[in-house]
Amino acid sequence: MTDQIKILVSTMTGTAELVAEEIAETLNSKGMGAEILLTDNIDAAVLQKGATYIICTSTYGQGDVPDNGQAFLDHLDSLGPDLAGLHYGIFALGDISYHQTFCNAGNLFDAALRKFGATRIGEIKRHDASTGELPEDMAGEWAEAWLEELKELQ
Ligand SMILES: Cc1cc2nc3c(=O)[nH]c(=O)nc-3n(C[C@H](O)[C@H](O)[C@H](O)COP(=O)(O)O)c2cc1C
């Protein structure tokens, strides 16, 4: 089983990073290492077969990934790596008032990783900002359940 999970963060105003910090804390409390990386500081070549990732992303524009995630996704597409054996989860932040594009950046990351053979663990988590519930308040519970699903695979 993987001993460290990399949490990749695409964010415009920082909320997804708060979510990532909460997820990292929960994983650490369960004995799992976690490293947070902003997608503007890395390129898609960091993705490794056999490794495990969590994507935390908000959605902007017309259902787009935040600016700091677009170059990462473009690079992934041009690299076209073989990601068979890579596992990932997705925590998507959005707002249902953008009903046609609700949490769409989560779908975009999902499609990009699946296209190259990676396997998602669990459903995409979709946080709706219009509920008033803070996403970082539900991130720990989500991470705990997600980690259980990961362990069932091993
Ligand atoms: C200008 C703007 C556009 C947005 N567009 C969408 C959208 O298309 N779909 C969606 O689900 N949420 C959309 N949102 C909501 C954000 O994704 C949501 O508030 C999120 O929690 C912000 O997280 P961040 O601070 O990590 O960027 C938009 C918000 C703003 C301010």
Q: Pinpoint the alpha helices (H) of the chain.
A: 15-29, 67-79, 104-115, 135-153
- The rounded Å distance from CA 59 to ligand 1 centre is 5
* Residue 70, CA distances (Å) to 42, 56, 110, 120, 139 in order: 12, 14, 14, 20, 24
Residue carrying structure tokens 């969590």: 54
If you ran DSSP here, which 8-state letter would residue 66 be given? P
- Domain residues for the domain of 95 are 4-153
* Confidence (pTM): 0.97
Look at residue 119 in the predicted model and tell me its pLDDT: 97
Number of structural domains the chain divides into: 1
Ligand 1 center to 102 CA (angstroms)? 9
What's the confidence (pLDDT) of residue 153? 87
10-residue mean pLDDT profile of the chain (154 residues): values are 90 98 98 96 90 98 95 95 97 97 98 97 98 97 98 87
CATH code assigned at 77: 3.40.50.360
How many Å apart are CA 103 and CA 59, to the nearest integer? 6
Residue 1 has what pLDDT?
Answer: 62
